[in-house]
Structure 1
Amino acid sequence: MLRGLYTATAGMLTQQRRTEMLSNNMANANTAGYKADQSTIRAFPEMLLQRMENKTLPTGNGINVPGMQTIGSLNTGSYVQEIKSPFLQGGLKETGLVTDVALVEENVPLNPETNVKGSLFFVVQNQAGEERYTRNGHFTLDNNGLLFSDGNPVLSTTGQPISIQSGEFNVTENGDVYVSGDPEPVAQIDVRFAADVRNLVKDGNGIYRTSDGQALPTAINNGDIQYNLKQKSLENSTVDIGRTYTDMMTAYRSFEANQKVLQAYDKSMEKAANEIGRLS
């Protein structure tokens, strides 16, 4: 009976974690460049149940021979094996804001080991001075003219924060930033390439870091990669609101079903302890 308790509890924990993931996707449905998480659920190995019994042979002495009778298999529960983000290109929307820049992938090579396409990112600097990566092109300018993405300075190809001492500027398709009246670019927005997206770890707020701590290589002047930056536009998140809502309802219903099974087992154990074993 305790196996049933463990199985139902594992199902509840699985659906709880899945609900948390889906809730986070829903909360970021309008976050520029956000990549929706997807979960992979697997079952624990099944157990084969057998019953021990004796068989009497039709002999004069009635010899008993021990044997095993197969009852069937027992599922031991499920678990969330993996949560990952498919790095798909989101749709574009025009905003009209000069500080909005969408990163549009045109040709990104496949990883020969996984046969999964790599991904491109803006590079930013966190408060500790470390490089981080994001697809969020909803940039802002602070009072000092520095270009920020969600509170993190956007870095140029020189590895320095981009300083724009004017509210009027243009961003070309290759990332060159021109201030009005200046024929020379003040900086070039750096774009990094992740050949193996399995090496990326979420660092919160649409920010990624590498699991091995190594910096991603630049995509600029890489002949195998084609992309362009589109000013006054943003990349939408890849969250499908309708599907996410449906998946959340399915997860809730599955959680409730496992909860009812758990309550049934609890009542059965209570009855076994308080009534079946009671002396009259």
Structure 2
Amino acid sequence: MTTNQGYYVLDNDGNPIQTNGLGFTVQNNGAIIADGQEVLLGLSYTPNAFDMIKEGNNLFTPAEGVMQNARETAAGFVVKQKQSEGSNVDPARTMTEMMNTYRTFEMNQRALKAYDQSLHQAIFTLTPLKMDK
């Protein structure tokens, strides 16, 4: 088994999972059954996602001593076969927040422009012009 990028999918002991081209089923607890044999999918858990170091290509490396076996921590995971993971972003909410942020930016920009204009006017009104005769 490999990921879309060609990396091996690992079992609970860190070994590549071999299905030998045979069909397999994945149970909710992460057990993969192929050719009558059961292999536990390697699942890890970290309570703080910021403890992970981004490597690129959807790969992360854990900081020292951070990762734990998900089964030991009772992380509450469920593994689904033939499912695509969806985005964890609510598009309507995100769009609303983005529009509110943009409106706040525009309002601050107008305030700065008004302040700049009043400062410009104060400089030229209060400063007498000197003319050489």
Q: TM-score range by the shorter chain?
A: 0.7 to 0.9
Q: 2:10 aligns with which of 137, 155, 166?
A: 155
Structure 2 counterpart of 1:251: 101
Residues 201 and 271 (structure 1), Cα distance of their counterparts in 2 relative to 1, 3 Å cut: farther
- In the superposition, the TM-score normalised over structure 2's length comes to 0.73
Q: 2:26 aligns with which of 171, 181, 186?
A: 171
Give per-residue Cα distances to partners, 1:85-129, cap 9 Å, x unaligned. Answer: xxxxxxxxxxxxxxxxxxxxxxxxxxxxxxxxxxxxxxxxxxxxx
8 Å CA contact 2:8, 2:16 repeated in 1: yes
Structure 1 counterpart of 2:82: 232
- In the superposition, the TM-score normalised over structure 1's length comes to 0.39
Residues 223 and 246 (structure 1), Cα distance of their counterparts in 2 relative to 1, 3 Å cut: closer
Hey, what's the Cα distance between the residues in 2 that align with 1:272 and 1:153? 69
Residues 270 and 229 (structure 1), Cα distance of their counterparts in 2 relative to 1, 3 Å cut: same
Structure 2 counterpart of 1:189: 41
Q: Read off the aligned partner of 1:190 and give its amino acid letter.
A: G
Residues 243 and 214 (structure 1), Cα distance of their counterparts in 2 relative to 1, 3 Å cut: same
Pair 1:216-2:50 in alignment: no
Q: Percent of aligned positions with the same letter in both sequences?
A: 30
Instruction: From the two aligned structures, give the one with the greater strand fraction.
Output: 1
Hey, what's the Cα distance between the residues in 2 that align with 1:279 and 1:223? 77
Deviation at 1:239, TM superposition (A): 1.4
8 Å CA contact 2:51, 2:66 repeated in 1: no
Structure 2 counterpart of 1:106: none
8 Å CA contact 1:192, 1:219 repeated in 2: yes
8 Å CA contact 1:147, 1:163 repeated in 2: no
Give per-residue Cα distances to partners, 1:128-182, cap 9 Å, x unaligned. Answer: xxxxxxxxxxxxxxxxxx4115554432212133333316222123323233xx2
Q: Read off the aligned partner of 2:101 and give its amino acid letter.
A: A
Match of 1:229, SS? Answer: coil
Aligned residues: CA RMSD:
2.9
Match of 2:78, SS? Answer: strand
Match of 1:266, SS? Answer: helix
Hey, what's the Cα distance between the residues in 2 that align with 1:188 and 1:153? 14
Instruction: From the two aligned structures, give the one with the greater helix fraction.
Output: 2
Hey, what's the Cα distance between the residues in 2 that align with 1:225 and 1:161? 23
| Structure 2 portions without partners, runs of 5+ | none
| Structure 1 portions without partners, runs of 5+ | 1-145
Give per-residue Cα distances to partners, 1:179-220, cap 9 Å, x unaligned. Answer: 3xx2223x42111122x326534736765544x433411123
Match of 1:177, SS? Answer: strand
Larger RCO: 1 or 2 (CA < 8 Å, sep 6+)? 1
8 Å CA contact 2:10, 2:16 repeated in 1: yes
Q: Read off the aligned partner of 1:267 and give its amino acid letter.
A: Q
8 Å CA contact 1:157, 1:188 repeated in 2: yes
